[in-house]
Amino acid sequence: MFGILSQLLDLLYKKRCYFCKSTKENSKFCSKCFAKIKFLPFSSLEVINGAKVYSATVYKDNIQKMIRGVKYHKQRELTLYQAKIMYGYWQNLEISKQTFVIVPVPVSKKRLKERHYNHMSLVAKEFAKLTGYEINENLIIRVKDTKPQYKLSKAQRAKNLKGAFEAIKENFSGQTDKNFLIFDDILTTGSTISEITKLFHKNGADNLTAFTTSCSDYNLHL
């Protein structure tokens, strides 16, 4: 019954592309806008604490709008497309033939209460459907509600994130030999990945890779 009602509503109120506003495809991310996405080279951008870091795209234009829509404007439906973009890049990497456990970067309790969801958790669930990877959100928690990173310098970002995360030590038992994929939306200075990888290493988990939807222009000049 719900499915029929949903279809009728789609006919009456066509979805509008979040980017070009077209209703032709009844989609939040039309094929014309999706086709404009350009992937970065299929290689790691940098290595942080032994973890190779990959980013699918650059944080600008529709990618920026998509991420901000998901993160701040409750555009949860766009998480499917964010995951598809990441998967489209990921499947071109040799490393994708391995099996991973996805660890979405956690948000603070305060941020979770405000948004009612962790945006990267939603993206991870869609990505897991495409890859078959499992997800583990019980290893790292965020204990500090940090300031928005985009307003800060590199030094300020590092200070802002110091002590922001904690490991749930008992949950690492029997997990340390697995390949972990740290999952985030934007790579800028790498401070978030740095803090999280330190906690993994401290708890005996050393098979680490990081993957972000996008990176800032800063990373392209490293």
Same domain, 82 and 25: no
* C-alpha–C-alpha distance, residues 2 and 211, integer Å: 36
Tokens representing 23 are 């209703």
Q: How many residues does the chain have?
A: 222
pLDDT for the residue 178: 98
* C-alpha–C-alpha distance, residues 58 and 215, integer Å: 5
Domain residue limits at 78: 37-221
Query: How many domains does the chain contain in total?
Result: 2
Same domain, 29 and 48: no
* C-alpha–C-alpha distance, residues 123 and 112, integer Å: 15
pLDDT for the residue 219: 57
Same domain, 14 and 41: no
Helices (H), the chain: 2-12, 31-34, 61-72, 78-90, 109-115, 119-131, 154-161, 191-202
Residue 103 sits in a domain of what CATH number?
A: 3.40.50
Same domain, 206 and 136: yes
Same domain, 32 and 83: no
What pLDDT tens digit does each residue of the chain (222 aa) get? 545 555 555 555 689 999 999 999 999 999 999 999 999 999 999 999 999 999 999 999 999 999 999 999 999 999 999 999 999 999 999 999 999 999 999 998 888 888 899 999 999 999 999 999 999 999 999 998 765 655 666 777 677 778 889 999 999 999 999 999 999 999 998 999 999 999 999 999 999 999 999 998 755 654
Same domain, 30 and 44: no
